[in-house]
A and B are shown apart, each in its own frame.
Chain A
Amino acid sequence: MGMPISHIMTSGMSGIRAAGDLVARMQLSKNMRIADAKDYVAKKLGVSTPDLSDEYVMRELREELGIGVITSVAGAPKGIAAKMNIEKLLDIKINCCEKFRDQVE
């Protein structure tokens, strides 16, 4: 466990503690290099690119946007509900959200 956590602490974007999942999604869905992915997400969130790794900025913003927070907030969107809000925020489609919509329509 020390190895992945060491990487996260040294270089990582902290996942849903900050905006690491959002930047990773833009790399994986649109082949964006790191600078482009950060610029894209920062513009969508209305923050600066350094803010994307700043837990202080992202904690409240993530809760306001309903895109998932690290702590378990009762009633806040989680799982697919949070990802549906991420789809709208980043203007992308997420496979499991598409499947979910197919099943309820």
Chain B
Amino acid sequence: MTTEYALRMGDGKRVFLTKEQIMADLEEGSADAADLGGIPALSGDEIDKLAEILMTPSRMVGVEPGKEVPVTHDIGTIRIDGDQGNSGVGIPSSRLIGSMMHERAFGADTMELGHIDYSFKPVKPVIAQEMQTMEVCQQNMIVPLLYGAMPNMGLYYTPDGPFENPGDLMKAFKIKEAQESMEHAADHLTRDTVWIMQRLMASGADGVNFDTIGAAGDGDMFASLHAIEALRKQFPDIYIEAGMAGELLLGLHGEMEYDGTVLAGLWPHQQAPLAAKAGANVFGPVVNTNTSKTSPWNLGRAVTFVKAAVKDSPIPCHVNMGMGVGGIPMFETPTIDAVSRASKAMVEIAGVDGI
């Protein structure tokens, strides 16, 4: 009887695969990334190593001693006191308590403070509260404590913001007007982000985590890169982490450029050098999980993309490995077997500097 290994689909459901099926899916996933990104596929040895990690007959695996990497955190303390929408577990607690729990109970290497909405724009009306909380947290914390938020440029469009919704404009074939709306929104997003971080740096923040850059397309990344550039100029020692929203930067505008590079259509290995050029210290590449494919297919694909990003990045890469990215199943409570296998693979094969 052929041996089957209990693995996962991209949505987290249990699936049983033979070694031959695992190898075939690993190779197919890697080839897909190589084809899309114009990057090298994984070598035969790397595929073998990935298969070995996936087929380990224990619930949890771990990196070899000495190969550990720092683990940075997005969403901050919202995972403690937040609701299901932020994957929070609803424990009533202050953000100081949430931060200290991560540092002293969970062994987090870094932490971040975030607003309950977790977007930059809604922080503006409550900036004094954020400053006060940052001060209190910095007085008590030891690990690096960033301020984290999403650029979330969609909040600048109607009905939530002042600029006409580009989606509505494009449906009416008003392409130029849609592009202008994105340009205005990007300017405001840059301005707001810099303003917020000026105040948080005055309150002792170590720096900022731009979480999910590009979620609203190329304008979102344009605004974020310009904010990073401005913050680096004003605060030479600020810690800046630039984490992406998806593997491919969507060209909603299509013609926005940074440093002479068109942003639309960039893959992780092309995004990393731009984040570094703008002044980020750490880049967070993303590779999306396909829920209809197996974990070998998704992991083979994700490791291929991230390995190329690590190679081409001038700065450390902390790969995004939350729900639905980096080979992790798209599921609210990702299974420990899948998370630990993906985590080990990213460190030992993609060569990431952190997670």
A contact set with B: CB distance below 8 Å:
1-17, 20-21, 23-25, 27-34, 37, 49-50, 52-53, 67-68, 70, 72, 78-80, 82-83, 86, 93-96, 99-100
Residues of B within 8 A of A52 (CB): 68
Docked Cα-Cα span, A79 to B100, in Å, equals 10
B92 CB → nearest A CB, Å: 16
Q: Is B109 in contact with A32, judged by CB distance below 8 angstroms? A: no
Q: Say how far B313's CB is from chain A's closest CB, in angstroms.
A: 9
Are B339 and A7 neighbours in the complex by a CB distance under 8 Å?
Answer: yes
Q: Is there contact, CB below 8 Å, between A34 and B108?
A: no
Q: Do B60 and A15 have beta carbons less than 8 Å apart?
A: no
Give complex CA distance A29, B328 in Å: 29
B140 touches A79 (CB 8 A): yes
A29–B238 Cα distance when bound, in Å, is: 7
- 13 cross-chain CB contacts under 8 A: A6-B336, A6-B340, A11-B355, A16-B142, A20-B108, A20-B143, A24-B144, A27-B70, A27-B316, A31-B281, A32-B316, A53-B66, A94-B206
Q: Whose C-beta in chain A lies nearest to the C-beta of B343?
A: A10
Please state if B353 and A33 are interface contacts (CB–CB under 8 Å).
Answer: yes
Q: Contact: A24 with B70, CB < 8 Å?
A: yes
Q: How far is the CA of A52 from the CA of B354 in the complex (A)?
A: 15
Q: Between A and B, how many residue pairs show CB distances below 8 Å?
A: 184
Are A15 and B340 in contact (CB-based, < 8 A)?
no
- With A3-B328, A10-B340, A16-B103 already in contact, the answer to whether A28 and B207 are too (CB < 8 A) is yes
Report how far A67 CA is from B142 CA in the complex, Å.
8
Taken together as a complex, chains A and B put the C-alpha atoms of A23 and B281 apart, in Å, by 13
B241 interfacial contact with A, CB 8 Å: yes
A28 touches B69 (CB 8 A): no
User: Would B339 and A34 count as touching, CB distance under 8 A?
Assistant: no
Query: SS class of chain B's interface: helix, strand, loop or mixed?
Result: loop
Interchain CB contact (< 8 A) of A4 among B73, B139, B347, B353: B73
Distance A14 CA – B333 CA, assembled complex (angstroms): 22
Known A-B contacts A31-B316, A79-B139; the reply to A24 vs B72 at CB < 8 A is yes
Q: Which residues of B contact A (CB under 8 A)?
A: 60-63, 65-73, 79, 89, 103-104, 106-110, 138-144, 201-207, 237-239, 241, 276, 281-282, 314-316, 321-323, 328, 333-334, 336, 339-340, 343-344, 346-347, 352-355
Given pairs A79-B139, A100-B204, 7 additional interface contacts (CB within 8 A): A1-B89, A12-B68, A12-B70, A21-B109, A27-B354, A31-B276, A37-B316
Minimum CB–CB distance for B62 against chain A, Å: 5
Provide the residues of chain A in CB contact with B143, threshold 8 Å. Answer: 15-16, 20-21, 24
> What distance in Å separates the Cβ of A49 from its nearest Cβ neighbour in chain B?
6
CA distance A93 to B60 in the complex (A): 38
- CB-defined contacts of A67 to chain B, threshold 8 Å: 142
The answer to whether residues A11 and B68 also contact, given A6-B343, A27-B281 and a CB cut-off of 8 A, is yes
Q: A100 vs B202: C-alpha distance in the bound complex, in angstroms?
A: 11
A95 touches B103 (CB 8 A): no
Q: When the two chains form the complex, which single residue of A1, A24, A100 contacts B109, counting CB atoms closer than 8 Å?
A: A24
A80 and B139 within 8 A (CB) = yes
Instruction: Tell me whether B62 and A9 are in contact (CB under 8 A).
Output: yes
